[in-house]
């Protein structure tokens, strides 16, 4: 991918040429000159210069959309070339959240592997924004996770809904809230444990940040002690040794019970979210379409 497009995308994401120059390891005058040359090549203004940074014009937004698509296709090509070098042309690359792995993805993948023993598999775990970034850059073929509210239309993906899941608040079975009389407002007095929380590195994927901001406000994130853990196993260990409270899909009740982790009895059910499959908005190759079908079958049985 042309280096001027790569530089433009960093400037567009950070909305500041000085910060972008530092990120790219360039001097500010060099990057400014490169952006002026890019504007001259299109004979249109790409940025509106402001006192505290830059803002994309309508031409700039169009270029950003197309450059992101070029970057995705370039990254996808590199990964396919690497696979071809390894003689692994039939390789499934799947992403999933930890919860959905335990609930149904594991079973679907086992069934597919039994039926197709010669196909290689790459499995990625993580937050849905991280997996979305991997998807649009060609690093995975599809992923299972919650529907991303406020997702940028530039991502050019398809979402297939599979099931609805409610959020529960999980604690260790000896938690004070289970021993003493308590009100639901008392939950805010205890540390909040967030498993694979959203990272600032992927906020450019969100077009409308308000839904996620409202979610943070609902959980009083800015007013509490917060543990951010990128491992479900480690999260269980921390719940077992602290008074932390962990919001997590209610469908994991049976799984957590093995570690004496239980949901708090609440008067009202938690937030409901849609879980499904994301893939690029294009025709899928046969082996990817086959595993998608297997995931749909298992997901709809939940």
Tell me the CATH number at 22. 1.10.10.10
Distance between CA atoms of residues 41 and 64, nearest Å:
15
Give the pLDDT band of residue 86 (cuts 50, 70, 90): low
Residues 175 and 235 grouped into a single domain = yes
Residues 27 and 141 grouped into a single domain = no
pLDDT in tens, 95-152: 999 999 999 999 999 999 999 888 889 999 999 999 999 999 888 999 999 999 999 8
Token representation of residue 118: 């010669």
Give the pLDDT band of residue 78 (cuts 50, 70, 90): confident
Residues 44 and 148 grouped into a single domain = no
Residues 19 and 143 grouped into a single domain = no
Per-residue pLDDT, 85: 62
Residue 76 has pLDDT above 90, yes or no: no
Residues 178 and 294 grouped into a single domain = yes
| 85 lies in some domain | no
Residues 173 and 201 grouped into a single domain = yes
Give the pLDDT band of residue 289 (cuts 50, 70, 90): very high
Average pLDDT over residues 256-271: 87
| 77 lies in some domain | no
Give the pLDDT band of residue 269 (cuts 50, 70, 90): low
Residues 289 and 177 grouped into a single domain = yes
Residues 176 and 63 grouped into a single domain = no
Residues 66 and 98 grouped into a single domain = no
Per-residue pLDDT, 220: 87
Residues 193 and 124 grouped into a single domain = yes
Residues 209 and 67 grouped into a single domain = no
Count of domains forming the chain: 2
| 264 lies in some domain | yes
Task: Determine the structural domain holding residue 51 and report its residue range.
Answer: 3-71
Residue 236 has pLDDT above 60, yes or no: yes
CATH code at 158?
3.40.190.290
Average pLDDT over residues 279-301: 91
pTM: 0.73
């Amino acid at each position: 991918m042309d280096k001027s497009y790569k530089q433009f995308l960093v400037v567009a994401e950070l909305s500041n040429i000085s910060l972008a120059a530092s990120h790219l390891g360039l001097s500010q005058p060099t990057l400014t000159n490169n952006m002026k040359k890019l504007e001259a090549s299109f004979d249109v203004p790409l940025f509106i210069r402001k006192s505290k940074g830059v803002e994309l014009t309508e031409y700039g937004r169009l270029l950003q959309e197309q450059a992101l698509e070029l970057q995705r296709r370039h990254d996808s090509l590199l990964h396919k070339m690497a696979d071809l070098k390894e003689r692994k042309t039939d390789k499934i690359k799947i992403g999933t959240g930890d919860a959905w792995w335990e609930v149904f993805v594991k079973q679907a993948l086992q069934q597919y592997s039994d039926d197709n023993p010669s196909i290689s598999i790459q499995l990625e775990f993580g937050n849905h924004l991280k997996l979305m970034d991997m998807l649009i850059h060609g690093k995975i073929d599809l992923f299972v996770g919650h529907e991303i509210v406020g997702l940028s239309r530039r991502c050019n993906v398809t979402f297939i809904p599979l099931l609805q899941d409610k959020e529960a608040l999980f604690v260790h079975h000896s938690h004070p809230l289970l021993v003493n009389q308590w009100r639901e407002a008392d939950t805010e007095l205890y540390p909040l444990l967030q498993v694979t929380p959203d990272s600032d590195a992927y906020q450019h994927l969100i077009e409308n940040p308000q839904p996620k901001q409202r979610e943070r406000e609902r959980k009083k994130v800015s007013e509490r002690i917060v543990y951010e853990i990128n491992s479900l196993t480690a999260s269980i260990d921390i719940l077992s040794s602290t008074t932390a409270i962990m919001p997590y899909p209610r469908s994991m009740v049976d799984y957590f019970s093995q570690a004496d982790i239980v949901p708090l009895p609440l008067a009202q059910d938690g937030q409901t979210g849609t879980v499904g499959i994301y893939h690029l908005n294009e025709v899928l190759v046969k082996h990817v379409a086959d595993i998608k079908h297997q995931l749909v079958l298992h997901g709809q049985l939940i």
